Structure 1
Amino acid sequence: MRVLGVDPGLTRCGVGVVEGVAGRPLTMRAVGVVRTPPDEELGRRLVAVEQGIEDWLDEHRPDVVAVERVFSQHNVRTVMGTAQASAVAMLCAARRGLPVALHTPSEVKAAVTGSGRADKAQVGAMVTRLLRLDAPPRPADAADALALAICHIWRAPVQNRLQQAVTAHRAGRPAAGARSGPVTSVPPVRKGPTA
């Protein structure tokens, strides 16, 4: 599986391509940042982000695009810019028929470091280790994009099984691998008198 991770942002939009499957060593194919000038008009900045992501999609042909799920912060202006860049990334993927996976920052941190509260330095260090790099990718947005791709590769098999189970449940049939037949109950264990 080849995943394009996108850490959305208007000034710096991190992008990184990781290839591999869960349980095996992963390979970084490319990493970088799509930049836009902060003093540029918003519409032009969004077009620049779109063009940058389109270039990455053309060059690396991922199977999936993993985007950081935007969550509410204290600074509404920052959240709006991040949400707009996130929407551009999802639009670029959807236009090509590519699946889009959204992962929260805490999911990504937990997947990569083992702690949903890890800081950027810890994420960068683990990305470096997991991808066998010489140094952490800079800026941190680039490392975060790789972390998103790693998270998706590791979580995708479980998410796919869960989705299949939900779909099967809604259709009224057992999920693949589920036992069929009558459900039997086990009688409760009765305790004898205590001495």
Structure 2
Amino acid sequence: MSLDLSSVIAATTHWLIRAYPAADGAMNAALAEAQARQAVTVAAWLRYPTTDAALVTMAGPGGSYRLDWLVDAEPYEIRGPDGVWRTWVDETVASWAAALLTCSTLATEAVAALADCEHAAGSPREFRRLTEPDAHDWQAAPLMRHPDLMACVVELHRPQLLERLRLLRSDDQTPTSAA
């Protein structure tokens, strides 16, 4: 089964940085995109464990229509130039990524939960810009990091994120041998 979530990650990252633009300047744009990509990657890996990843690449994640409506973005044509990438935006992944971007404690917990994640096997797993943003990161992405501005997206699926993390924590604490 394919574990490739690159289309979902790319489209959802693109949606986040368009909905919550970086501060002016090329360096700020690059830093904001790195933060968004790290948050979306963690969210996608949590949302789609191995088998589910193959299913989402076949069926598609649903698109950005409701997200666009929530943030009052310009409506788009499904058949227009934005239509193709927008169909690969995953609403739940965007919501979870927004939650991670606005709460570094939650981000740290989510990254820790991926310790044995099959998606990360053989790839570098550095999420410092997400879990430990420095002053440049904050300056580059003030809108994406602002809890009040991101609240409408965060609250869409935050309970499911918290439940997923709770389940992952409880799995880690399962006794491995009988006493």
Larger Rg: 1
The structure with higher relative contact order (CA 8 Å, sep 6+) is 2
Considering fraction of residues, name the structure with more helix: 2
